[in-house]
Amino acid sequence: MKSGVVVLMAGVIFALLCLFPPSANAMPTNATLRLPDVVIIGVRKGGTRALLEMLSLHRDIVAAQRELHFFDWDSHYQRGVDWYASQMPLAGPGQLTVEKTPAYFTSSRVPERLLGALPSARLLLIVREPVERLLSDYTQVFQHRLEKHKPQQTLETLLMRHGRLNLDYRALNRSLYHEHLQRWLRLVPRARLHLVDGDALIRDPLPEMRKVEEFLQLEPQINAHNFYFNQTKGFFCLRERRRERCLHTSKGRKHPHLAPEILHKLYDYFHEPNQKFFQLAGRTFDWK
């Protein structure tokens, strides 16, 4: 009787393994918790979640799945680096641990804190065209306030004051990439910070991910088979072995309509900051 149960259980386990094969990132027995080797520092609404999910397709990458806000929230930072390490996923020898918190990029206190705790960490910064990023930022805040039944303000109300752009609007400031990048480059060697083109990642993910693999000195593994275009959602989804997945439904939300004259004001306003950013970055982006 017992042997029959053992055979039955073995059959069940075999069937489950066929249906749900072990992940390419399955942990070895000697996996440990440790501080991250790679940090995605931003930018908010630039595509950080997409970048993290795509990077996780690589078998030598293990990623924290939530934003830890260790370096920008005092309440977390005061818990110390041991707490920070305890929030990481288990990683085996040769694997890289990745954490992403988009708020790091624009927080003035983060660069010094991060470099003090992670002196050899490599940093990933993903950026999008500044106006598109701003629209996406507003859309996310609007949706969160809607879900919490909080009062809303139109984007025009937040953006404009007496016929001029409201330069105190935080979403506008987050798109001034050169100001924030200057702060990082005072402490971080340029060779340790890699820029990802978030707009290119949306249009054609593979070339951008190959550049990320090269920067992280990873064996090339991510390939065209890992991506397929979902016509319904209007963006690329991911394929790993037999499993297919798309980003959360919050991604790809419809942006608010802005009057053409306000859009022109925004494009004019960002022209000079974008040029300064290109100079700092050592490359240009195909932005309006």
Please report, for the chain, the start and end positions of each structural domain, with discontinuous segments joined by +: 27-281
**Closest to 287 (Cα-Cα) out of 134, 165, 179, 130:** 130
Place of tokens 């940093």: 123
Tokens of 196: 């990802």
Residue 144 is predicted with a pLDDT of 87
Cα→Cα distances 284→194, 201, 270, Å: 14, 15, 14
Residue 251 is predicted with a pLDDT of 59
Does 3.30.2290.10 match the CATH number of domain 27-281? no
Peptide bond into 43 cis (omega under 30): yes
Cα→Cα distances 210→35, 62, 130, 215, 217, Å: 24, 17, 24, 9, 10
Counting as low any pLDDT under 50, the low residues of the chain are: 1-24
Beta bridge partners of 63: 98
Cβ distance 208 to 198 under 8 Å?
no
Cα→Cα distances 117→66, 80, 251, 265, Å: 19, 9, 32, 41
User: How many whole angstroms separate alpha carbon 1 and alpha carbon 8?
Assistant: 11
Tokens of 70: 């260790």
Residue 30 is predicted with a pLDDT of 85
Residue 109 is predicted with a pLDDT of 97
